[in-house]
Structures are given as C-alpha cells and as structure tokens.
Amino acid sequence: MRFVSTRGQTPPLGFSDAVATGLAPDGGLYLPETLPQFSAADLARFEPLPYAELCFEFLKLFATDIEPSVLRAIIAKSYTTFSDPRIAPIIKLDERTSVLELFHGPTLAFKDFALQLLGNLYEHQCATRGQTINVLGATSGDTGSAAIHGLLGKPGTAIFILYPDGRTSPLQERQMACTGADNVYALAIDGSFDDAQAALKDLFADQDFRTRHRLSAVNSINLARVLAQCVYYLYAYLRLPAATRAETEFVVPTGNFGNVLAGWTLQKMGVPIHSFKVATNQNDILYRLFTTGDYRVSAVAPSLAPSMDIQVSSNFERFLYLSIGRDSAKVREVMETFKKTGGYKFENFDRDTFSASRCSDAQIPSIIKDVYQKYGYVVDPHTACAFADLSKDRPSLVLATASPAKFPDTIISAIGVEPKDPSLEALKQRPLKKHLLKADAGAIRAFIDANAV
C-alpha cells in the first residue's frame, strides 16, 4: 500500500515512511492511495474478534511493509496498557442512547488508542533503522499527554509538545509536565492552540530542519492516528445490537476533526454506519461549516472543554480531498484561499451523513447534571457537548472522549461529586517541569536544536 499527499506534489510513500514523515513535504496530509472495501462477509468474520486482533486485521491492509508477526506484536503491546479488558466498552443508558467509552488508556482519553500504537511504531523504526527520531506535536489538551505516554523513556526518541499555557486543565498539564522522563519536553506557548499548530506547520515546512532532526509529527496530521482510530468505530459498529446497528448515529465531540474523520473514512470503506453528528463546543467552526457551508475562522474563546478550543481543524484537508474526488489541485486552491482570507464557502455537503450541534459553556454544567440525574452516569465536559442535541429520530452512540476525572472542578460544580483516578492523584505530588516559549517558530526551533537527540 502506498500513501499520497492531499496536495499531490510529493512522491507516494510506504506506510512506515509516511508515518515517520508525518506532514508531507508539500504541506499536505498523507492518505492511502486507495481505500480497501469491506464486504458483509468481512464484517461477519471480524465480529467475534477481540480488539487487538481486529486492529491487526484492519491495519495489516495498510502497514504492508511491516512483517505481519511483528505488526501483530506491536499492536498487542499497545493495548495491554488499557484498564478495561474490553478496551472500548459500550455502556447502554437507555433504549435510544449508548456511550462508547474511549478513556480506559493510560492517559484517560481517546487519543491513547492511536498514540500508544504510534509510540510503539516509532520504537520499532528506531530499532530496525538504527536511527533516532524527534517527535513534535501541538495539543489543546489530551493529544500531548497521550503522545508523551506513548514515548516515555523509549530509546532513540525525544518528544516536544507545544500547548497553550493556561488553556489546558491543570491535570492535563500535569500529565505532560510531571513525567520525570528525560526524553520529554513540555513547551508551554504564550498563545492559543491555533498559534501552536501554526508554529508547528512552519517548522515542518523547513525541510532542512526537519531532515536534520529526523522530525516526525504526532498530531492527527499523522496518518497512523486516523487509521488507528478507524478501528474503534469498526469495533463499536460490530457490537451494536443487530436490530439498531443500521440506523445508529455516531455522535462525536470534535475539535481537530480527526476523530469523526476516522469514522467517516471507515464508512467510505464500506462499513454501513448510518450517520455522524459533529458535536462542537462554543468554538464552533465545524458546526457553522456543516450547517451553513461556510468554513470561516473566528477568535478562539477558552472554554470548559479545552481540547475542543480549536478553529483551524487540521484534518479537514483530508475530508476535503476525499469528498471532492481526490482532486489535489482543488485542495491546493481551497487551502490557499483559506490561508489568505480565513474562510471558504462550500456549495455542497452530504447532509444525509453529517449533522452538527453546538454547546455553549453555560450549557455544559447543566448537561453534566442532567445526564447524572437521569442515568447516574458522569460525563466529562467534552462528552457533555455531544449530549446537547441528540437525535429524536434514531438511536445515538455517544463517543466519550475523556475521563471525567481529568476535569474535577467542572464536575464538582455541576453535581457536587469529585471524580478521581489513581494515576491522576499520583501526579499531584510530582514537580511540574515545563518550558515557557513564545508562539514563534524561531524560538521553538532554537529549543529543539538545543535538545534534539
């Protein structure tokens, strides 16, 4: 299997090279040259498989340059760190509403599904190629901690995570800045997530810099992130009741568009998921996109759901490429217009597949309280956004993207109960080690120059 850039101006790569490269040299994002198609017989064969084995059956179609026995071992290792043996359990709340819990990994967020795997893929590449690698990412909260914990102490690696100073939850920051690992650098940026992501893209555009440091991206711009996340959609679809499977809507809290993109990509592979609801917080560019067709940046307002405090959704480019028939020239035109003007007006969207909802900060505590009183179930602020406007016409499967224990202040204010997790309690006793930097590519470049492996 080969992987091509959405902008069509760089040669195709194999899986391992595309993973190691992250962002394509032409500024685009890698996607499979062709998408495999799953038949009803394939889905029937997949249905009884445990999570790790299903992940292997899926990823072996893409990671064709890794020996199958090696790939199976990498995948098995990646999911031994999850606290629930089901990996991604479905919790039924009532006849029409269920929750897919995606927070049983080591950092209590859905990002662990991809980043435990990606960390082990990086470790495999370092060992087999005899090279070091420096991993760079930007985060609005959960990606950074999950990426860091996927690479903790792994030989031949260093990881640099940019995050907006003061705009993550205290426990999210502690997960990044209290590891004590020598290969981890938590870089607190004076600015928003979008500022951090813009600096990251500038650094990856510096071909000499990225080559000199063997720089790889850990954000959802890395294709391994999207492919790994496809698996929990497939796993969940196969575990829905047969009677409602074909009509269930997946409701996805979304900021950087990578999570819902994975489900939509799986649908493009022939898995008959009915529809997706894109659930945003008050930073609602994706809500505006899917309700009006207008993709336009506005100011980021810090919220109770900080991982969704994003305006420029990096995975939108993959969605654009696939939805307009893989027309790289058109992608370049749209992205250039968006870069210059901060907006783009689209004429057509698949309204049967996508809908959207918006949740304000004022609504989040009341939704948490309502879900708790109705079901005795506690949701984190991001998952609460998904409950803002559930369908009355069909069953809903809400993707619970983080443990409520990561956001105790919001939960306490909403229901008077403090959610706890032993791993987070231990972090409160550790010293915080972060590096304060301006949201400037030059300052970040100098820091990496001084600390890269």
According to DSSP, the β-strands at 97-101 and 90-94 are antiparallel
Specify the 3-state DSSP secondary structure of 10.
coil
Residue with tokens 């938590």: 186
* pLDDT at residue 157, rounded to an integer: 95
Helix axes 68-78, 112-129, angle to 10 degrees: 140
Contacts of 343 (CB under 8 A, 6+ apart): 294, 295, 296, 297
- Model confidence band, residue 351 (pLDDT cutoffs 50, 70, 90): low
* pLDDT at residue 314, rounded to an integer: 80
Structure tokens at 328: 């790289």
> What is the rounded average pLDDT of the residues 323-331?
94
Which parts of 97-192 fold into alpha helices (H)? 112-129, 142-151, 170-177
CA dist 38 and 271 (Å) reads 7
Q: Which of 14-18, 51-55, 352-356 has the lowest mean pLDDT?
A: 352-356
Structure tokens at 365: 């505590």
Is 305's pLDDT higher than 70? yes
DSSP state for residue 363 in the 8-state scheme? H
> What is the rounded average pLDDT of the residues 13-39?
95
Helix axes 363-375, 408-415, angle to 10 degrees: 70
According to DSSP, the β-strands at 435-438 and 3-5 are unpaired
Is 340 noted as a catalytic residue in this protein? no
Dump pLDDT digits (tens) for 117-164. 999 999 999 999 999 999 999 988 788 899 999 999 999 999 999 999
Is 299's pLDDT higher than 90? no
* pLDDT at residue 277, rounded to an integer: 97
What whole-number percentage of the chain has pLDDT above 90? Answer: 85
Structure tokens at 313: 């959704």
- Which residue is catalytic, options 92, 111, 201, 339? 111
* pLDDT at residue 161, rounded to an integer: 96
Contact 354, 319 (CB under 8 A): no
DSSP labels for 174-226? Answer: HHHH----TTEEEEEEES-HHHHHHHHHHHHH-HHHHHHTTEEE-STTSHHHH
> What is the rounded average pLDDT of the residues 372-387?
98
Backbone angles phi, psi at 57, to 5 degrees: -60, -35
Dump pLDDT digits (tens) for 59-85. 999 999 999 999 999 999 999 999 999
Structure tokens at 4: 């091509």
- Model confidence band, residue 9 (pLDDT cutoffs 50, 70, 90): very high
- Model confidence band, residue 29 (pLDDT cutoffs 50, 70, 90): very high
Dump pLDDT digits (tens) for 204-224. 889 999 999 999 988 788 999
Is 350's pLDDT higher than 70? no
Contact 71, 56 (CB under 8 A): yes
Helix axes 223-239, 112-129, angle to 10 degrees: 130
Helix (H) or strand (E) run with residue 252 in it: strand 249-253
Dump pLDDT digits (tens) for 176-209. 999 999 999 999 999 998 899 899 989 988 999 9
Helix axes 170-177, 142-151, angle to 10 degrees: 20
DSSP state for residue 260 in the 8-state scheme? H
Is 348's pLDDT higher than 90? no
Return the closest-CA partner of residue 66 out of 4, 123, 149, 133.
123
CA dist 337 and 323 (Å) reads 18
* pLDDT at residue 34, rounded to an integer: 96
Dump pLDDT digits (tens) for 410-429. 999 999 999 999 999 999 88
* pLDDT at residue 349, rounded to an integer: 63
DSSP labels for 275-286? Answer: EEEEEE-SS-HH
Return the closest-CA partner of residue 400 out of 50, 82, 89, 52.
89
CA dist 101 and 123 (Å) reads 28
Is 30's pLDDT higher than 70? yes
Contacts of 51 (CB under 8 A, 6+ apart): 79, 86, 87, 88, 231, 232, 235
Structure tokens at 200: 């990251």
CA dist 51 and 87 (Å) reads 7
Contact 17, 224 (CB under 8 A): no
Is 347's pLDDT higher than 80? no
Residue 300's Cβ-side half-sphere holds a number of Cα atoms within 13 Å equal to: 21
CA dist 447 and 119 (Å) reads 22
- Give the predicted TM-score (pTM) of the model: 0.93
- CA 263 to mean position of chain CA atoms: 12
* pLDDT at residue 117, rounded to an integer: 97
| Domain 86-106+224-420 in this protein, CATH class | alpha beta
* pLDDT at residue 246, rounded to an integer: 93
Contact 144, 173 (CB under 8 A): no
CA dist 419 and 417 (Å) reads 6
**Amino acid making up residue 162:** L
For 50, 146, 265, 370, the CA distances from 230, given in Å and listed in that order, are: 15, 17, 7, 30
> What is the rounded average pLDDT of the residues 331-357?
87
Is 355's pLDDT higher than 90? yes
